[in-house]
A and B are shown apart, each in its own frame.
Chain A
């Protein structure tokens, strides 16, 4: 095994993590907006959001990635051309974050919507009775109160995001799986590199699980524990 390939794999892992973090953040933004749109929006907003979440969840991620990857870069270039600028090369990182974030947004919309519905209604009514403006209520009441209900679902989505980055290998973005494929193809040590990449992915998952456990207990602070409730 050439000494360079281990480093290549780690660079791939770094790119995977960058995309996963970016996509999860973008997904959270879309998801929060989408959940509020679905709960408090007008009828047209609700229907459009229903179409968004249904379509994204019914079509394979691979097809969506191809579609959005080509459509997104094409659209941006056409807009730029119409405005009189020259075409630009969209970086793979930005495109990957956009595409996966769009997919994640549909799933997190549903998770956050469910979590907001799980907040005891009295808390939101009390906030309204205090005369809180919507922005303050969102920041002080709704978001913190929904967090313990949303965290298991969002944690799941984070794990899915780390694994979905592998799909970007199909459109040629250099992340862990594509790095592995290149390393394995050059050295012919297929099994070694694929197992190494599997261990890296697994390490990310297990480490995330540790962190998620911490975050979950933190977000549930001050709430009665489930065990005592029985």
Chain B
């Protein structure tokens, strides 16, 4: 019964959405896609297929790691700004301002070329166990993207922490909870729910920042497309496919986050 109802509901929704002009637009779009498939050159695809998948995997991996680390860093940054003493809040504010006030590309190059040129001058760094990592490009990419995410999300978390009603925290204290327990059980979860809608946007922005790592020789999907362009002298085909890949990933991300958001209690505060 309910399955039938949802089927009818979906059919009704589809008929509202599928107006005649939309069908025309979809047909035109399909025609364009078919034209692109037939009249453009795609014979390079089999050769670069595996490299492309590897690149997508690497981009997603960088996205996941930097978002997780960045959020872990954003929580203390937000907390320090929302309720910390001045010697915590001032450095956090300066960090967020610097990260948000300069382009990510510059931060990336500052770390990779700037610090990367300083490190080899010190023998004790060259002899340490860190050296094999410091010679590669990806640690710099991860650090730069993590800082960037932390800077933007730290500002969001500041607002989220400050937005939790005082009564909640006072009630928790009245229950005799310790400060750590208040933070863990009351303050952080409620702030997190508040920050969740912006987290979707920030993650998509972070995804759109990942191609920058190709400029410091990390082989992500963007670098693969650049290599295809160099090898085959094709301008549009690799870039169009690349745009399609990013749009697909963005779509999946938005869908997943909307499902997570739907599970969170709506009424907060």
Contact = CB atoms under 8 A, between A and B. Distances in A.
A60 interface: yes
A61 interface: yes
Contacts of A226: none
A194 B114 contact: yes
A67 B100 CA distance: 26
B76 interface: no
Contacts of A167: 103, 105, 212
Interface stretch (B7-15, B122-130, B164-172, B239-247): B239-247
B25 A47 contact: yes
A229 interface: no
Given A47-B25, A195-B110, A177 B115 contact: no
Contact of A70 (B25, B210, B235, B250): B235
Given A58-B246, A63-B239, A166-B105, A198 B208 contact: no
* Chain A facing B: main interface SS: helix
Contacts of A60: 207-211, 222, 246
Given A61-B208, A177-B103, A180-B106, A198 B98 contact: yes
A115 B182 CA distance: 39
A47 B114 CA distance: 47
B110 A201 contact: no
A74 B21 contact: no
A67 B237 CA distance: 10
Contacts of A177: 103, 105-106, 109
Given A47-B22, A63-B222, A194 B109 contact: yes
A197 B109 CA distance: 11
B31 to A, nearest CB: 15
Interface in B226-269: 235-236, 239-240, 242-243, 246-247, 250-251
Interface stretch (A25-33, A84-92, A146-154, A184-192): A184-192
Contacts of B22: 43, 47
A166 B114 contact: no
Given A55-B247, A58-B247, A70-B235, A63 B106 contact: no
Contact of A170 (B215, B239, B242, B246): B215
Contacts, number: 114
B210 to A, nearest CB: 8
B204 interface: yes
A191 B105 CA distance: 14
A82 interface: no
Interface string B174-207: 0000000000000000000000000000001001
Contacts of B236: 67, 70-71
B21 A195 contact: no
B101 interface: yes
Contacts of B117: 188, 190-191
B131 interface: no
Given A60-B209, A60-B246, 9 more contacts: A55-B247, A58-B246, A58-B247, A59-B243, A67-B243, A71-B235, A163-B103, A163-B104, A180-B109
Interface of B: 19, 21-22, 25, 97-98, 100-107, 109-110, 113-118, 204, 207-212, 215, 222, 235-236, 239-240, 242-243, 246-247, 250-251
17 contacts: A47-B21, A58-B246, A59-B243, A59-B246, A59-B250, A62-B211, A62-B222, A70-B235, A177-B105, A181-B113, A184-B114, A190-B114, A191-B114, A194-B106, A194-B109, A197-B106, A198-B102
